[in-house]
Amino acid sequence: MEPAAATMLSGRRALPILLAVFALLAAAVTVSARGGAERAPTLVFILAGQSNMGGRGGATSGNRWDGVVPPECAPSPRTLRLSPSLRWEEAREPLHAGVDAGNVVGVGPGMPFAHALLRSPACPRGAVVGLVPCAQGGTPIANWSRGTEMYERMVARARVAGAGTGRVAALLWFQGEADTMRREDALAYAGRMEAFVRDVRRDLALPNLLVIQVRSSVSTPLIFPL
């Protein structure tokens, strides 16, 4: 994966805001999985973007994932993923298996994010994280405008994920390299990103949905800064 600098769409203090969101959500946490039956998340995160989010760790040489799961990507009973067939299951790498179609997927940022969250003192007690993988390798932001396959798939998955005991806490967006190859794409990026966020917030009826945007460092040959 490319080194990345975390930035945020509206302001640069993503973590404090995220922690504030947890505080707000604490009151809404419901005890799920009574009797150990089907578990359900309490905090839901949408994971979208291109390969950096889809996950290529251990999958960049040869034609298969090497199967190595670093400790920060290990499964945990408190981290679920929404499967391609829209069911909650224990999250395991590769998180985007069956979602990031046509690509060799490996480990990505989703699991370390969930672990960090659950370790945070601000995380509500008993929280169960629900990850909703939606990324697709190589996609420019034009593939994510309202009405496109990627956008509609993401919104449909997010709606299912947010319909149960879990609240959609944030959208994690790790995308952009595909828009650094052509000058016109780079110049159009800010407007497209704004439209994307506006549309997602409206379609999910979450006008204050937190969006955490990660900016890729540019790759070669390059290119136009986003």
Ligand X SMILES: *[C@@H]1O[C@H](CO)[C@@H](O)[C@H](O)[C@H]1NC(C)=O
Query: Using CB under 6 A as the criterion, which residues of the chain lie in contact with ligand X when the complex forms?
Result: 136, 139, 143, 149-150
Query: Measured between alpha carbons, how far is 81 from 88 in angstroms, rounded to an integer?
Result: 6
- Of the two residues 83 and 148, which places its CB atom closer to ligand X in the complex? 148
- Of the two residues 101 and 116, which places its CB atom closer to ligand X in the complex? 101
- Of the two residues 87 and 182, which places its CB atom closer to ligand X in the complex? 182
- Of the two residues 14 and 154, which places its CB atom closer to ligand X in the complex? 154
* Amino acid identity at 25: L
Q: How far is the CB of 143 from ligand X (least distance, A)?
A: 4
Q: How far is the CB of 199 from ligand X (least distance, A)?
A: 16
Q: How far is the CB of 114 from ligand X (least distance, A)?
A: 25
Q: How far is the CB of 102 from ligand X (least distance, A)?
A: 8
**Do residues 170 and 179 touch, judged by C-beta distance below 8 A?**
no
- Of the two residues 42 and 139, which places its CB atom closer to ligand X in the complex? 139
Residue with tokens 């359900």: 40
Residue nearest to ligand X (CB): 143
Query: Measured between alpha carbons, how far is 88 from 9 in angstroms, rounded to an integer?
Result: 29
Q: How far is the CB of 192 from ligand X (least distance, A)?
A: 13
Cα→Cα distances 164→13, 102, 120, 130, Å: 29, 30, 24, 11
- Of the two residues 128 and 158, which places its CB atom closer to ligand X in the complex? 158
Q: How far is the CB of 97 from ligand X (least distance, A)?
A: 17
- Of the two residues 77 and 98, which places its CB atom closer to ligand X in the complex? 98
Residues in the chain: 226
Strand order of the β-sheet with 129-133 is: 4-8, 210-216, 167-174, 43-49, 129-133, 79-82, 88-90
**Do residues 44 and 168 touch, judged by C-beta distance below 8 A?**
yes
Whether omega for the bond prior to residue 207 falls within 30 degrees of 0, making it cis, is no
Q: How far is the CB of 101 from ligand X (least distance, A)?
A: 8
Cα→Cα distances 104→20, 26, 54, 74, 107, Å: 36, 37, 10, 19, 10
